[in-house]
Amino acid sequence: MPPRKNLGDLVAHWEVALSDGVHKIEFEHGTTSGKRVVYIDGKEVYRKEWMFKLVGFQDFVVGKQKIKGRISIDACSGFAYEYTLTIEGKSLKKFLENKSKTSKAWALHVGGVETRIVFEKDTLDVWVNGEKMETAGEFTDDGTETHFEVDKHACFIQAVTSGKRREGIVHSLYVDNRIIPD
């Protein structure tokens, strides 16, 4: 589909951090024609030009994992509308809160390149700059290590208990045997 050209009837935009990167979602709504256009990362993923029903919802998927999203269109008063984004059936705020509990992300430079590494605690998947990595798990005396490579740099994520019930497991990233700060 064609890339985004103008701002036209842009009424809402959001940024959603997923394992494969941060995605920008934009929504155009023609309040006279009912037109609906959804853009993800600047690319059009849905378009409907004429719709008689101005309120309702628009479904789409985002990211390499095809996460389900929905934009709800509700009338406020007169010709004013409210637009709400839900991801996986949860409000954006609730989804991001849950995501922060089930994943951990680091932003760093590896080999001079800006790199984003995300560790999914529930699946033990590792994503580097939007690509799912091949990993190898290893049990250690302290906990576990998940090994992978980024541009010929040896990396691993260490999981150890905090010793505190409320904190649970602590995940630390090492690149070339150096710990990367959170």
Q: Residue 83 pLDDT more than 70?
A: yes
pLDDT in tens, 61-82: 999 999 999 999 998 887 788 9
Structure token digits, residue 62: 């985002």
pLDDT in tens, 120-156: 999 999 999 999 999 999 999 989 999 999 999 999 9
Q: Would you tell me how many other CB atoms lie within 10 Å of the CB of residue 28?
A: 19
**Which domains are assigned to the chain?**
10-88 (2.40.128.180), 103-180 (2.40.128.180)
| Cβ proximity of 25 and 47 under 8 Å | no
pLDDT in tens, 39-60: 999 999 999 987 777 888 999 9
Q: Would you tell me how many other CB atoms lie within 10 Å of the CB of residue 148?
A: 17
Q: In what order do the strands lie in the sheet with 10-18?
A: 10-18, 21-29, 36-40, 43-48
| Cβ proximity of 35 and 48 under 8 Å | yes
Which pLDDT band, with edges at 50, 70 and 90, does 5 fall under? low
pLDDT in tens, 11-45: 999 999 999 999 999 999 987 777 899 999 999 99
